[in-house]
Structure formats: structure tokens, C-alpha cells
Amino acid sequence: MNKNKECEIIELSNVVRETLLYPNLTQQPLYKTVNWKEQLIAITNFIPIAGGFISAELQILANYQVSEFFRKFTSFIYGLKELDDSKRVNFITEVEEKAQDSSGNVMISIIDKLDNINKQKILANLVIARTNNDISIEDFFRLSSVLERIPYVDLQLLPSYQDEFYDESGDTELLFSTGVLRQAYLGEDGDKYILSPLGIKLLKFGVNVDIPIPQITGVKTGISWENVGDKDIDLISDTNQEIG
């Protein structure tokens, strides 16, 4: 890797880690039409002691998909503006212990992979849910991965699966493949799906839809079974002999 590029990534990791730890954002509104990097520099100036240092590091960053990343990160960090310092420190510590890496590097990777700016608010909600002990740190990493893989348009369809449901448009198969749905009904006329435990957590604590935590039951079936008679057994035996 180019040495200057490597230095930029290290500096960006430091910026992300420190900003996660100490922002005081209540005085700063978010302007969607203003340069995102400049907004983040303005935000970091509110951080006690370290703010000027972080702003200086931001100023010298030339590129790391700078514009798009700072747009995502600024949106994410605003979602945490009510989170107090002690909870931030605990979260950062947990991330570093579980990932065995700098929290700045980990969060850069998670944030940068999200393909829709609205997912940043969901990610921030998941951080808050972890700090409130609503989900485990393992849940946070799993749900972050799921959030990356689900198109935002399909995230908006998750509430439909509070009850048994199947959508012909294709979102059911995609959502099922990510682990947020489970099969609830198997039938000759079509299967039905419902939120899995992981999907419930994503909807309740990420998307912030107030739903109860249901009792998980087994898969129902609508497939009929018929008893096999002597004639059927004889037919199967004759068929096997012919094949043999």
C-alpha cells in the first residue's frame, strides 16, 4: 500500500475513534447541502481538549473516498448525539475486545459498507441498543452485517413479516437468505415466512418499530400425507426390480 495512503487511513481511524468517544453535537444542526467534511470539522471543534487536534487531522486527509465516507459518518455520528460519554467508552472498549482491532478501523469498515445514507441512522440505533443492553455485542456485529446485505427498499418491507407472509416480488427469498426471516408454514400452495429472532431485533432496535418479542414456535405444514397400502408397496417393489 502507498505510504501516504496508509497514513491517511491511520489518521482517519483515529478521527473516527475519537469522534465516537467525545462528540457534543447538540449545538450543531445537520445541513444536507453543505460539504460533509467541513461539517465534521465543525463538529469536532466541540470536542473538549482533543477537538482541535482531530480537526487538524481531518484537514490534512486528502482522500479515502473522502466525500462519500464523511457523508455517511456525519449522518451516523448525529444519530448518537444523545449518547453519554460513559456509554460511548464502554461500547468502544467492547468493540475493540471482540474484534481485536482498533474501534476506528472496525467502525470505518462497517459504516463505509452501508450503501444508503438512511442505514446510518439504523446503525446508530443498534449502537444505542447495545449500550442499553437491549442486544449483545455479538448481536451488534451480526445485525451490522445483515444491514449491509439488505437493500434499503427491502428493509422497509420488514414490518410485513410480523405475521406469516410471502411476497412474490422477490424480497422474501433475499430477506430469508440474510437470516432475518424463518419459515413459518410449508404448504403445497406456497410457503410463508415470519421474522426470525435476528429479524425481530433488527426491526425493533434498528428500524425502531415497537413490536413485542414473540414466542418462537415450530414450522407448520400444509402438506398432506397418505398412508401407504399393500398395493403401493407391491408397486414400489416391482418398480425397483425392473430398475435393477
Give the model confidence (pLDDT) of 167-186 as tens digits. 999 899 999 999 999 998 88
pLDDT band per the 50, 70, 90 thresholds, residue 49: very low
Judged against a pLDDT cut of 70, whether residue 112 lies above it is answered with yes
- pLDDT (0 to 100) of residue 22: 61
pLDDT for 91 beyond 50: yes
33 contact partners, CB below 8 Å, separation of at least 6:
none
The C-alpha atoms of residue 221 and residue 87 are separated, in whole angstroms, by 46
State the average pLDDT for the chain.
75
> What proportion of the chain, given as a percentage, has pLDDT over 90?
40
Domain boundaries, the chain: 3-149, 153-221
Higher pLDDT, residue 87 or 26: 87
Indicate whether 2 pLDDT > 70. no
Mean pLDDT of 83-109: 89
Is 242 a residue whose pLDDT tops 90?
no
**Lowest-pLDDT range of 83-87, 136-140, 200-204:** 83-87
